[in-house]
């Protein structure tokens, strides 16, 4: 079974500062993908960034980067130059082949990020 752990229920960061949101995962699969999603107060789930288990370089998407440490089974999200609009819930998720084959996406419990002036 796959499991995602996000140990930070809430985080605060000053505007323009960088912040790291932690994510560890557990899986016996060799091939898997790790995702981060943002959920603002309006409720939609917005895809931010993806890292494949065989990718050697850390993924980056604009101000988002994923600090992937495979041996530690961690996939932390780094947001640089935080903006007020970054205030939201952030979910780490993993996609691996589940029973019966296929693309189940397992989510962590989320981290609520608040960006302050």
Q: Residue numbers of the site for other proteins (CB under 8 A)?
A: 31-33, 35, 37, 43-45, 47, 50, 52-54, 91, 95-110
Residue closer to other proteins (CB basis): 53 or 82: 53
88 closest CA partner among 51, 44, 50: 44
Closest distance of CB 38 from other proteins, Å: 11
Residues 30, 10 contacting (CB under 8 angstroms): no
Q: Quote the CA–CA distance of 61 and 48 in Å, as a whole number.
A: 7
Closest distance of CB 49 from other proteins, Å: 10
Closest distance of CB 76 from other proteins, Å: 18
Residue closer to other proteins (CB basis): 30 or 117: 30
Residue closer to other proteins (CB basis): 77 or 95: 95
DSSP characters for 88-107? EEEEEEEEEE-TTSSEEEEE
Backbone angles phi, psi at 84, to 5 degrees: -55, -35
């Amino acid at each position: 079974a796959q499991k995602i752990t996000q140990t930070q229920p809430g985080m605060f960061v000053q505007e323009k500062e960088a912040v790291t949101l932690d994510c560890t995962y557990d899986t016996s699969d060799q091939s898997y993908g790790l995702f981060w999603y943002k959920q603002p107060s309006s409720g939609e789930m917005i895809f931010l960034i993806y890292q494949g288990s065989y990718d050697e370089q850390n993924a980056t998407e604009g101000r988002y980067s994923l600090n992937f440490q495979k041996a530690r089974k961690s996939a932390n999200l780094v947001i640089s130059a935080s903006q007020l609009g970054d205030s939201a819930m952030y979910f780490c998720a993993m996609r691996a082949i589940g029973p019966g084959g296929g693309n189940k996406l397992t989510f962590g419990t989320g981290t609520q990020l608040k960006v302050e002036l």
